[in-house]
Chains A and B, each alone.
Chain A
Amino acid sequence: MTGYFIRRLLLIIPTFLGITLMVFAITRFVPGGPIDRALAQAQAASESAEFQSSRPGDSTSILSESQLNQLREYYGFDKPLLESYVQWLGKVVQFDLGVSTRYAEPVWQTIADRLPVSLYYGFVTLVLTYMVCIPLGIWKGIKHAGTFDHLSSAVVFIGYAVPGYIVGIALLTAFASEIELFPLGGFASDDFDDFTLWEQVKDIVWHSVLPLISYMVGSFAVMTFMVKNSLMDNLAADYVRAAMARGRTFGGAVWHHALRNSLIPLATHFGNNIGIVLTGSFLIETIFNINGFGLLGYEAVVERDYPVVLGILVISSMLFLIGNILSDLCVALVDPRVRFQ
């Protein structure tokens, strides 16, 4: 089995190269990048200068050829695609993601600035989701086809059907705009620093109720039904029937026999939790005005801040690929019947 995981780890390399090369190539061939941006800025500057000195200027060559070449060299656009890709990759393996063209600070710094907010939301969402889904799934499995099961299924499916940001908009309209129960957005109040510790905690919780609901509604359905269905599979299995036949109470059969086995499927996603910071959806972040990871990526794409785009891509694809392997590892750890070859 060790061999299997080593092979899986090695297969990360071609996949990672494929993903980054594709996006790298696209950033190269689509107009509107940093060079075009610099040209537009120079054009605007020279036009206002022209207006002041009223000197006829040649609008086609705002920047001289040598200046353009300098710019291309600065952004690494002076070499063919593969050569500059290799150069970029060489820096990445030394953990150098370059400098943001928008903020003129290292990409690592930009990402680290957003980390606490994203970690907070990612972690709380994760914990609450497990805390709600496991008991709910068990309860629904035991009371299968009862009134509570039908009602909660309807609610969970509605949450699954509607995208989180739509839920966010609905909540914002109802509870922040119409009834002013919660704030309209943001991570904390403006005078946050003046608060006592207890007030700070209250403030953050108050600000995060609506976004957290929006984040979570979608993830309830999959996990709840995973727990419910696997619990019901196990309840129908012979070993539970045998336990009942020996005189175990129903509760005892569920608690001591079926439940442990029915939590195994949860392990199939557990490894992906290392991507916890990436759970942030930029749509929800835009609506609630939260400065997290998702919003950073979206703004970087819109503003053509390619070093940040590629930096986020490196981190997210790495976390995702490693998370998949960790999930398989978790399954192998908790279920001795599983053997990977």
Chain B
Amino acid sequence: MIRLDPLTRRQFARFRGTKRGWYSALILMVLVASTAVTELLVNNRALVVNYQGEWHFPVYADFKPGTTFGLDYAYETNYRDLKAVLEQSGDGFVIMPPVPFSPFEINSYDGQFAPHPPNAAQQHYLGTDTAGRDVLARLAYGFRIAIWFSLVLLVATFVVGIAIGCAMGYYGGLSDLIGQRVIEVWSNVPMLYIIIIIASVITPDFWILMGLLFIFGWMGMTWYMRTATYREAARDYVLAAKSLGASDGRIVFRHILPNTLSLIVTFIPFAVTGGIGSLTSLDYLGYGLPPPTPSWGELLKQGTDNLDSAWIVTSVVSALVGLLVMVTFVGEAIRDAFDPKQHTTYQ
């Protein structure tokens, strides 16, 4: 167990005191944890099949041809149909996930053209997109990609930003001066233009896109860390540590970094919303992850192109607004918790 000092405990209590931030944090934690088992919640493969006394778990198994279950085709079993078949014959049963569709599956219904409106009987709770793919399934898998994209991006930019910023602030001098100019140039280069130019030449995948956003995204944190380190390095306790003979590494890691922790933590939620926002807008413009990757930006594009099928744009905008607002509430609560100022109020 980590030993928490009283200050940290008080900050945590203050964080819990901000109700909307605390509940948002709980909901977000559940949502992020659920991405580990998205397959069990949203999938066109059955969770459990009992056929003639045999148990099958198709979600985490290989592809099973229809013949396995006594159907007359050798391509992958359609478990939704199998469920109906087994219910009639009484040979066993099928348990489907709550949303029985895959994000890539194109669903067609007789006499209707995609997009299909929401229909609880067909289990398309949020309808389908223009290609007939289930909107809820694409939202769920798109969320998994977007949230992990922004979390990995956050770790990468923070590690590099903190390292460079700390070095610049602590050593100062010429490296600081050159570093400042480099960052000034780098952060004024229009990132979006360059990503668009590059993305039109190569098709970016998850890691290339992350690399591009990382290359143009590490400066923000560097700038704040430089200022914070600069301020801390001038404090008496650093001088005291130095005169006791502490090495640079010890001073930075044991003394300065813990004292800038509040700054680092405060920026995490804003980096998360930034990452999700960048990925979504790039996908929206068509320079993000290649189709048919499920993505909120691509759904947003479909929604705005088909305002008549309002369920597409309503679903994705609500999901985006809900997610970003919750992350921002967490950020607000963290900032309040770390704010040492308790304001005087006059009555």
Contact = CB atoms under 8 A, between A and B. Distances in A.
A317 B189 CA distance: 9
Interface in A216-233: 232-233
Contacts, number: 113
Q: How large is the interface on B (under 10, 10 to 19, 20 to 34, 35 or more residues)?
A: 35 or more
B277 interface: yes
Closest 9 A-B residue pairs measured CB to CB?
A18-B185, A161-B328, A236-B344, A161-B324, A177-B307, A232-B343, A301-B193, A161-B325, A19-B188
Interface string B168-201: 0000000000000110110011100110111011
Interface in B186-219: 188-190, 193-194, 196-198, 200-201
A235 B343 contact: yes
Label chain A's interface by main secondary structure: helix
Interface in A107-162: 144-145, 153-154, 157-158, 160-162
Nearest to A18: B185
Interface stretch (A165-173, A195-203, A206-214, A327-335): A165-173
A250 B329 CA distance: 32
Contacts of A178: 310
Nearest to A317: B188
Given A26-B194, A244-B346, A170 B317 contact: yes
Interface of A: 11, 14-15, 18-19, 22-23, 26-27, 30-32, 144-145, 153-154, 157-158, 160-163, 165-166, 169-170, 172-173, 177-178, 232-233, 235-236, 241, 244, 250, 253, 283, 287, 297-298, 301-302, 304, 309, 313, 316-317, 320-321
6 contacts: A27-B197, A31-B201, A170-B317, A173-B313, A233-B341, A283-B285
Contact of A166 (B188, B189, B321): B321
A301 B198 CA distance: 11
A235 B344 contact: yes
A169 B317 contact: yes
B47 interface: no
Interface string B295-333: 000001001100110100110010011001101110010
B37 to A, nearest CB: 27
B328 A173 contact: no
A157 B328 contact: yes
B9 interface: no
A309 B314 contact: no
A170 B196 contact: no
Contact of B324 (A22, A162, A170): A162
Given A158-B325, A320-B188, A166 B200 contact: no
B281 interface: yes
Nearest to B326: A161
A18 to B, nearest CB: 3
Nearest to B307: A177
Contacts of A11: 181
Nearest to B296: A166
B273 interface: yes
B112 interface: no
Contacts of B247: none
Contacts of A170: 317, 321
B20 interface: yes
A18 B189 CA distance: 9
A185 to B, nearest CB: 11
